[in-house]
């Protein structure tokens, strides 16, 4: 009994020490940013009260300084985006301040304040969450620094005048393109199954809508016999496909909301003695390197790209804005459609 008490006490002490560390650390870290930011904020509005933000028409890529607050490095896709931003900056001669937030909003907020203090010309951010940006975006606006959202949006709680544009994919269009591609693969129509992404996830909802609306509107001979979630994972896509092809052995195609599930479907089809890519066409979205390998082997047919290579579009929009021009509220990313016949040539150029 005494033992247990002693251990309890030990844990309690350890717990207190731990919580003390936790409260102490952030204040220490936050201090420099907080000191820097208000100083800027106090000076800036005073000037602006008289002169509104001035355009800088002489700005060029070489003279421009850009801050970019990245979410993190959680996936190959994200790495591809980071690489694109960095490489494009080097290529164009833009002075880039890059910050990796490691999936934390407070880190992104800190990064933005640091960028403001450094006096950058524009800030790009892939917001880790959709809410809670009003204050820090306002600080940037007060300092006459435009904010550009990249690949992830914010919700309606963030006033629209606080950011100039959103650069990213149109998931509905991706679904629609997938439908058109799939219809070309099966001119005679037939039964198909759909593998959905995580239930409730934005891309899953839009890729389903875009695909199903297009099929319903233009291809009455294609029949979606089942649509089930595979949670965007290979294992999920495989298990669902294995179950569905036992009930619907006559399907002629599989449409997957991402490449990963399509790879799972390919495994399931092969194990069932079917030939993915020939007997059963496989169409998916994303454009991962692994699906190109499957296309080279003839097991997948088409992937509709969801490109992370947003660097060129981002810097172009940033320069236009800084020079005083206007850009679209939603700049849709340049995305390709890749088919089996060119996969062997395309695969070497895939970076994600």
Partner 1 sequence: MKKLNSIIQKLGSNRLAWSMFALAAILLFNLIVYPEFFKITILDGHLYGSLVDIFRNGAPLMVLAIGMTLVVATGGVDLSVGPVIAVTGAVATSLIGLEYGSTNTPLFLAVALALGVAALCGFWNGILVSRIGIQPIVATLILYVAGRGVAQMITNGKIMRIFYEPYFVFGSGYFLSLPVSLYIVLLVYIVAWLFTRRTSFGLYVESIGINSEASRFTGINEKNVKLLAYTLCGLCAGIAGIIISSNVKSADGNNAGLWYELDAILSVALGGTSLSGGRFSFAGSIIGALIIQSLTTTIYSTGVPPQVIMLVKALVVFLVSLLQSENFRKMIGSLLNSRKGAIQ
| Interface positions with partner 1 (CB under 8 A) | 3-4, 7, 11, 73-76, 196, 199-200, 226-229, 231, 233-235, 238-240, 242-244, 246-247, 260, 264, 267, 271-273, 290
Q: Distance (Å, rounded) from C-alpha 3 to C-alpha 294?
A: 60
Calpha distance 303→292 (Å, rounded)? 8
Q: From 119, 92, 107, select the one nearest 37 (Cα to Cα).
A: 119
Residue 202 CB, shortest distance to partner 1, in Å, is 15
Nearest distance from C-beta of residue 338 to partner 1, angstroms:
19
Nearer Cβ to partner 1 (187/273):
273
Q: How far apart, in Å, are the Cα atoms of 127 and each of 104, 140, 143, 281, 331?
A: 10, 15, 20, 36, 16
Q: How far is the CB of 91 from partner 1 (least distance, A)?
A: 26
> Is residue 352 within 8 Å of 188, Cβ to Cβ?
no
State the minimum distance, in angstroms, from the CB of residue 201 to partner 1. Answer: 11
- Of 247 and 275, nearer to partner 1 (C-beta) is 247
Q: Which is nearer to partner 1, 130 or 293 (CB)?
A: 293
Please give the Cα distance from 286 to 270 (Å, whole number): 22
Question: Least distance from C-beta 204 to partner 1, angstroms?
Answer: 9
Q: What residues form DSSP beta bridges with 214?
A: none
Closest by alpha carbon to 166, among 67, 307, 61, 314?
314
* CA distance linking residue 59 with residue 319, whole number of Å: 7
Closest CB to partner 1 among 16 and 73?
Answer: 73
């Amino acid at each position: 009994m005494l033992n247990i008490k002693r251990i309890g006490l030990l844990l309690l002490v350890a717990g207190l020490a731990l919580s003390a560390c936790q409260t102490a650390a952030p204040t220490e870290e936050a201090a420099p940013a907080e000191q820097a930011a208000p100083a800027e904020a106090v000076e800036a509005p005073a000037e602006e009260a008289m002169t509104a933000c001035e355009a800088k028409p002489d700005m060029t890529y070489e003279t421009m300084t850009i801050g970019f607050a990245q979410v993190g490095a959680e996936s190959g896709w994200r790495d591809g985006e980071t690489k694109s931003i960095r490489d494009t900056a080097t290529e164009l001669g833009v002075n880039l301040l890059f910050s990796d937030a490691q999936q934390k909003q407070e880190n992104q907020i800190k990064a933005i304040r640091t960028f403001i203090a450094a006096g950058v010309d524009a800030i790009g951010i892939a917001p880790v969450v959709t809410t809670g940006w009003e204050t820090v975006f306002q600080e940037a606006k007060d300092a006459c620094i435009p904010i550009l959202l990249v690949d992830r949006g914010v919700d309606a709680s963030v006033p629209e005048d606080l950011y100039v544009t959103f650069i990213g994919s149109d998931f509905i269009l991706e679904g629609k393109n997938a439908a058109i591609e799939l219809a070309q693969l099966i001119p005679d129509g037939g039964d198909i199954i759909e593998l959905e992404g995580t239930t409730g996830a934005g891309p899953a909802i839009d890729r389903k809508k875009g695909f199903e609306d297009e099929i319903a509107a233009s291809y009455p001979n294609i029949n979606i016999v089942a649509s089930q979630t595979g949670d965007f994972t290979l294992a999920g896509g495989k298990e669902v496909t294995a179950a569905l092809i036992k009930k619907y052995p006559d399907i002629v195609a599989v449409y997957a909301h991402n490449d990963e599930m399509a790879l799972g479907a390919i495994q399931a089809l092969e194990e069932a003695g079917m030939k993915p890519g020939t007997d059963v066409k496989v169409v998916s979205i994303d454009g991962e390197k692994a699906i190109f390998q499957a296309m080279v082997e003839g097991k997948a047919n088409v992937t509709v790209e969801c490109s992370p290579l947003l660097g060129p579009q981002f810097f172009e929009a940033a320069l236009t804005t800084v020079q005083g021009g206007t850009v679209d509220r939603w700049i849709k990313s340049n995305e390709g459609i890749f088919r089996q016949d060119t996969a062997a040539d395309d695969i070497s150029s895939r970076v994600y």
